[in-house]
Amino acid sequence: MQNEKIFRDPVLNEIHVYDQVILDLIGTPEFQRLRRIDQLGVTSSVFHGAEHSRFSHSLGVYEIARRIEMHLENFYPTQTPGDGLWDANERLVLLCAALLHDVGHGAYSHTFEHIFHTDHEAYTQAVILSEETNVNAVLRQVAPDFPEKVAQVIAKTYPNPQVVQLISSQIDADRMDYLLRDAFFTGATYGKFDLARIVQTIHPYAGGIAFDEKGMYAIEDYVVSRYQMYVQVYFHPVSRALEVLLQHLLERAKVVYDDRRERGLSTDFVPKLLQPLFSGDLSLEQYLTLDDSVLLAAINQWRFDEDSVLADLSQRFLNRVPLKSITVGKAQRHLLPELRRLVEAAGFDPRYYTAENDSFDLPYDAYNPDAKQQRTQIELRQQNGNLVELSEKSALVKALMGREFGDARFFFPSEMVKKQATDDMMAPIYAEFQQYIENGQLVEPETKNSIK
């Protein structure tokens, strides 16, 4: 480009574009679709400012990757092949992968994936590789094999581990942007960390990326920020309750759709854009027509459906009437069938009005080749050039390492914990249910007057 393009950004201040291919990718319909997908899904119903999109996040990831690449090119350019320093020829594949890493996300992000068994990373690769997309056409202008290179970065099979780790690792451009951006828009100030310092201390080596030891305290701050954001925002019980509600209403919509189709009844209650998804015959082109607005319009319509469960779940979701929840320990799980029985006795179908939800995560963990989900550990580069794993130098990170945080919850209708039932016949059922609840936790009462 003859002139740079600058996007104003509330989190990173400015996003700079110097390459025509990046500007062309931003202008594609596939990338513009991300404006219509919220970054945090239902979380805006808890943190009202969290209405930022996958579009703004993707731009942010691109900008952080651009700043890192500029730092590597300025201070660690390769001198001889295989010296482990930064090869400037990798610049464009890194920036395109950073920009496009979320282009395959579905409506309401991860909740959508759980119901319809889609994989946003697989769709991202499909968008990049399909010759039917505008994204692929733009990438092919760089080189015929360029789309394949970008897709390999997303798939973590690209031969240069430096490029892969800058997009996907325990400290990468993706995580750094979403932590800062989500903290900003939720108002959670504990999600902040010193991005500039971390970028300044990145050091390439043959096996990937490391960080100068002098930057350890900034990385500690990042790890703690990640921990705090998960505890306070991502695992918020009301957000999880709304996700459960959305999941169950979509499940119910699918059941009603299949039932009516089998009986030869009209399935017009599912909008035309959603029909291929519900029928299980979804092309890439049809997938890319789906966004939050399509799903929200359908839910708004389902409020008036003749199926009472679907209608009720839809109005609860739209009117922000989430399910209530209590924490459940391993010793109390045997009580859950009894709670479900009471919920059913109160007139609620437990398949759609109860749920177990376990949300746990690790703020940081060292590499374990035997783990189901392998993690690229954070390496510190000492003054003598040797690499050391982060927790070996940081007592703070060592205290957090390998320790899962989060909780297990049981969700149920809020009516079950109202002090007094409006229907006198339900009052004994509600009263018995409440015997199991104490300070938001599931307990085993000493005596029970079970209703059979």
E strands, 257-404, are 324-327, 355-361, 379-381, 387-389
Range of the domain at 312: 236-320
294 and 223 belong to one structural domain: no
96 and 162 belong to one structural domain: yes
Please list, residue by residue across 58-87, b when 16 or more beta carbons sit within 10 angstroms of its beta carbon and e when fewer do.
Answer: bbbbbbbbbbbbebbbeebebeeeeeebbb
Q: Looking at residue 49, which CATH number applies to its domain? A: 1.10.3210.10
113 and 227 belong to one structural domain: yes
299 and 231 belong to one structural domain: no
What pTM does this model have?
0.93
The torsion angles phi and psi of 175, rounded to 5 degrees, stand at -65, -40
54 and 89 belong to one structural domain: yes
Task: Give the total number of structural domains in the chain.
Answer: 3
229 and 245 belong to one structural domain: no
179 and 255 belong to one structural domain: no
49 and 150 belong to one structural domain: yes
177 and 49 belong to one structural domain: yes
180 and 256 belong to one structural domain: no
Q: Three-class SS of residue 229?
A: helix
Select from 226, 248, 383 the least CA-distant residue to 302.
248
pLDDT in tens, the chain (452 residues): 788 999 999 999 999 999 999 999 999 999 999 999 999 999 999 999 999 999 999 999 999 999 999 999 999 999 998 899 999 999 999 999 999 999 999 988 777 777 777 888 999 999 999 999 999 999 999 999 999 999 999 999 999 999 999 999 999 999 999 999 999 999 998 888 999 999 999 999 999 999 999 999 999 999 999 989 988 899 899 999 999 999 999 999 999 999 999 999 999 999 999 999 999 889 999 999 999 999 999 999 999 999 999 999 999 999 999 999 999 988 889 999 999 999 999 999 999 999 998 887 767 765 444 444 556 789 999 999 999 999 999 999 888 877 677 788 999 999 998 755 566 677 888 888 988 988 888 988 864 444 43
What's the half-sphere exposure (Cβ side, CA atoms, 13 Å) at 172? 24
